[in-house]
Chains A and B, each alone.
Chain A
Amino acid sequence: MTDSRLRHLTSVRDLDRAAALRILDTAEAFLEVTRRPVRKVPTLRGKTIINAFFEASTRTRTSFELAGKRLGADVVNIGGSASSTSKGETLRDTVATLDAMHADVIVVRHSASGAADYIKGRTRAAIVNGGDGMHEHPTQALLDAFTIRRHFGRLEGLTVAICGDIQHSRVARSNALLLPLLGAKVRLAGPQTLLPHDAAALGAETFTRLEPALEGVDVVMMLRIQQERLGSALLPTLREYARTFGLSRARLGLAKPNAIVMHPGPMNRGVEINDDVADGERSVITAQVESGVAVRMAVLYLCATEPGQPIGSE
Chain B
Amino acid sequence: MRELIDSEGVSRGLRRVAGQIVERQRGAEGLVLIGVRRGGEPLAREIARWVRELEGHEVPVGSVDITLYRDDAATALPNPRIGPSQVPCALEGKRVVLVDDVVFTGRTIRAAIDALMDYGRPERIELAALVDRGGRELPIQPDYVVLRAEVGPRDRIDVVERPGGMVALICPAGSPSTPPTP
**Residues of A bordering B, CB below 8 Å:** 1, 3-5, 25-26, 28-30, 32-33, 36-38, 40-47, 301-302, 304-311, 313-314
Contacts and interface: CB of A to CB of B under 8 A. Distances in A.
Given A305-B73, A314-B102, A5 B68 contact: no
Q: Which 10 A-B pairs have the closest CB atoms?
A: A29-B82, A38-B118, A314-B104, A41-B68, A43-B68, A308-B75, A43-B73, A308-B76, A314-B108, A311-B76
A309 B76 contact: yes
B74 A304 contact: yes
B77 A38 contact: no
B74 A29 contact: no
A49 to B, nearest CB: 12
27 contacts: A3-B78, A3-B79, A26-B82, A30-B82, A32-B85, A36-B118, A36-B119, A37-B90, A37-B118, A38-B119, A41-B118, A42-B68, A42-B69, A42-B73, A43-B69, A43-B74, A44-B74, A46-B74, A305-B73, A305-B80, A306-B75, A308-B76, A308-B77, A310-B76, A314-B100, A314-B104, A314-B105
A5 B104 CA distance: 29
B104 A33 contact: no
B79 A1 contact: yes
Nearest to A41: B68
Interface in B31-75: 65, 67-69, 72-75
A7 to B, nearest CB: 12
B114 interface: yes
Nearest to B101: A314
Nearest to A1: B79
A121 B58 CA distance: 58
A42 B85 contact: no
Interface of B: 65, 67-69, 72-85, 90, 100, 102-105, 107-108, 114, 117-120
- Interface of chain A: mostly helix, strand, loop or mixed: loop
A305 B85 contact: no
B38 to A, nearest CB: 11
Given A5-B79, A44-B74, A308-B78, A314 B103 contact: yes
A122 B19 CA distance: 62
Given A36-B119, A43-B69, A310 B83 contact: no
Nearest to B108: A314
Contacts of B74: 43-47, 304-306
A1 B80 CA distance: 13
A37 B80 contact: no
Contacts of B108: 313-314
Contacts of B114: 42
A42 B76 CA distance: 15
A33 B77 contact: no
A28 B84 contact: yes
A310 B77 CA distance: 6
A5 B105 CA distance: 28
A266 B169 CA distance: 58
A305 B100 CA distance: 26
Nearest to B105: A314
A34 to B, nearest CB: 12
B104 A37 contact: no
Contacts of A33: 68
A45 B111 CA distance: 14
A29 B65 contact: yes
A27 B173 CA distance: 35
A72 to B, nearest CB: 9
Contacts of A30: 82
Contacts of B118: 36-38, 40-41
Given A25-B81, A308-B78, 20 more contacts: A3-B78, A5-B79, A26-B82, A32-B84, A32-B85, A33-B68, A37-B119, A40-B118, A42-B73, A302-B80, A305-B74, A305-B75, A308-B72, A308-B75, A309-B76, A310-B76, A310-B77, A310-B78, A311-B72, A313-B108
